[in-house]
Amino acid sequence: MLNIVILAAGLGKRMQSDLPKVLHRIAGQPMLAHVLGNARQLQPERIVVVAGHGAERVQAAFAGQEDIVFALQSPQHGTGHAVQQALPYLVGGDSPEHATLVLYGDVPLVQAETLQRLLQVRGEGLALLTEKVADPAGYGRIVRTEAGDIARIVEHKDASDSELAINEVNTGILAAPTAQLRDWLGRITNDNAQGEYYLTDIVALSVADAVPVRAAQPSSAWETLGVNSRVQQAELERAWQREQARRQLEAGVTLADPERFDMRGELICGRDVFIDVGCVFEGRVELADGVHVGPHCVLRNAVVGAGTRIEAYTHIDDASVAASAVLGPYARLRPGAQIGPEAHVGNFVEIKKSVLGAGSKANHLAYIGDALIGERVNVGAGTITCNYDGVNKHRTIIEDDVFIGSDTQLVAPVTVGKGATLAAGTTLTRDAPAGKLTLSRAQQTTVENWQRPQKKV
């Protein structure tokens, strides 16, 4: 039986923010959501989040996630005191197989694989995730015996000069046998430089009880980076984006510059996908084989078919594009847009809740909303579907092989029959019959003998 306790009660003063620290985001998600995601991969029987500062907001942010139990720590008297607040919620019996893993809400990126290794190393004892660092300042130091066994952890503020020279540090993450953890936490005191109950004091108690203490190390250094300030948040964001970019490259995606890649969700790519600089991917985005994404595009919850080209500055939000289409530059697909195969959507064309059929083209300056457009339709420059009467939305239906001249307004609800042509400048207020030319246009006149006014002197 596995419990996971996530410490998230700290104030996060250096963030200079009204938002509780663990709700600050990395890759578009609250830090605590990352920790929870990684925790869930271990399939624990119980997850306890220890909240304190801003506890209501933290709890509200995860309302409805029923696998989480919240414990309140107020006021905060240290990491040991924090874990004490979680004890009433832990599950499992006295067997040393039953473990409790402690994670930090502000160390968001520790990977499940690393945690799995820590649990393995633990056996039936205590396991610490430790690291050797160039600058150990601020960290708890791992004090070992001459034989190399872990003896205890000493906090920076309590350390002697020789202990300060130790460069193996405590990342804070540990796994303990649950029953012993209860016992040890009942025995720690706050007799130290900070007057706090240190979770790290359980290490010496474990040694005293002859419970083995072992250590594991993270696979990558960025996994254990914590966030205490906006500077550290920005640094961790970049480290994580670099890692996500590396994974895409490994999987065969070409990134014009992995330093200018931002993925805030899930990106699933086929073979030979190209992604230019400055793109942002949000939610779940799927790019099929050979998709080309030009610079500075924003794609959120999008499915894009094979061989489609998305040119610069295109925005796609909750929309789908079939194969071999061409979008942009400067195209905007809003929720419910469905672009058919080989269709073209050009600059300054906005499409919402509409189908643009196979091979149809809207190449310049248009608004298409609540429309069903068939195949091989040409939508001229400046075409507008007037879908909103100020109260209700109405549908426009444009059948196959229609040609819509430039600067046409289609006042919905209205239908344009198959193969119809609408002349430029038409304001269509009634259905246009199939196969015929329909136009609405004021007569053109020329005023003879008209003189342009002269400037008065």
Which spans of this chain sit near ligand UD1 (rule: CB under 6 A)?
A: 7-10, 50, 52, 73, 76-79, 81-82, 104-106, 139-140, 153, 155, 169-172, 198-200, 226
Q: How far is the CB of 139 from Ca ion (least distance, A)?
A: 9
- In total, the chain counts a number of residues equal to 457
Is 364 marked active-site?
yes
- Residue 172: which of ligand UD1, Ca ion, none does it interact with, CB under 5 to 8 A by kind? ligand UD1
Positions that interact with Ca ion (CB under 5 A): 226
Distance CA 304, CA 316 (A): 10
**CB of 177 closer than 8 Å to CB of 125:** yes
Q: How far is the CB of 95 from ligand UD1 (least distance, A)?
A: 26
- Residue 70: which of ligand UD1, Ca ion, none does it interact with, CB under 5 to 8 A by kind? none
Distance CA 209, CA 186 (A): 14
**In terms of CB distance, is 79 or 301 closer to Ca ion?**
79
Residue 222: other Cβ atoms inside 10 A: 17
Using CB atoms within 10 Å of the CB of residue 332, give its burial: 0 to 12 exposed, 13 to 18 middle, 19+ buried: buried
Residue 337: partners with Cβ closer than 8 Å, 6 or more residues away? 316, 319, 320, 351, 352, 353, 354, 356
| Dmax (CA) of the chain | 110
**In terms of CB distance, is 10 or 359 closer to Ca ion?**
10
Q: How far is the CB of 181 from Ca ion (least distance, A)?
A: 21
Q: Catalytic: which of 77, 156, 296, 364?
A: 364
Of all residues in the chain, what percent are helix, strand and coil, respectively (each to 5)?
Answer: 20, 35, 45
Q: What are phi and psi of 205, to 5 degrees?
A: -65, -40
**CB of 387 closer than 8 Å to CB of 371:** yes
**In terms of CB distance, is 226 or 295 closer to Ca ion?**
226
Q: What are phi and psi of 196, to 5 degrees?
A: -115, 160
Q: What are phi and psi of 280, to 5 degrees?
A: -120, 125
- CA distances to 240, 325, 429 from 346, rounded to whole Å, are 34, 11, 26
Instruction: Please identify the residue of the shown chain whose CB is closest to the bound Ca ion.
Output: 226
**CB of 429 closer than 8 Å to CB of 411:** yes
Q: How far is the CB of 408 from ligand UD1 (least distance, A)?
A: 60
**In terms of CB distance, is 38 or 415 closer to ligand UD1?**
38
Q: How far is the CB of 203 from Ca ion (least distance, A)?
A: 18
Q: How far is the CB of 79 from ligand UD1 (least distance, A)?
A: 3
- Residue 4: which of ligand UD1, Ca ion, none does it interact with, CB under 5 to 8 A by kind? none
**In terms of CB distance, is 197 or 367 closer to Ca ion?**
197
**In terms of CB distance, is 110 or 420 closer to ligand UD1?**
110
Using CB atoms within 10 Å of the CB of residue 408, give its burial: 0 to 12 exposed, 13 to 18 middle, 19+ buried: buried
Catalytic residue numbers, as ranges: 364
